[in-house]
Amino acid sequence: MDRNQSPEDPAERGLFDTIKSTYALALEPEQQAMIKELRHRLPTIPAEERMALIDSIENAVGQNLEEELDY
């Protein structure tokens, strides 16, 4: 952990873990809300972890849009 980063908040970790385990099942608007949450409201979660999850969710959003176009 970076010296300037405050100790991890257990509530933030719980929300992060929930997002991580459910984003693939969420619809695109919820995925966008998850990305916003990760970018702006979980400051005690390390940035590297948040950015990796944001990338994963953004990839899922793109896949969901492609699947919708296939119908």
Q: Where are the domains of the chain?
A: 47-71
Q: Rounded to an integer, what distance in angstroms lies between the CA atom of residue 57 and that of residue 71?
A: 22
Q: What does the alpha-carbon distance between residue 38 and residue 15 come to, in Å, rounded to a whole number? A: 9
**pTM for the whole structure:** 0.79
Name the CA radius of gyration of the chain, rounded: 14
Whether the per-residue pLDDT at 70 is higher than 70: the answer is no
Per-residue pLDDT of 31-65, as tens digits, reads 999 999 999 999 999 999 999 999 999 999 877 55
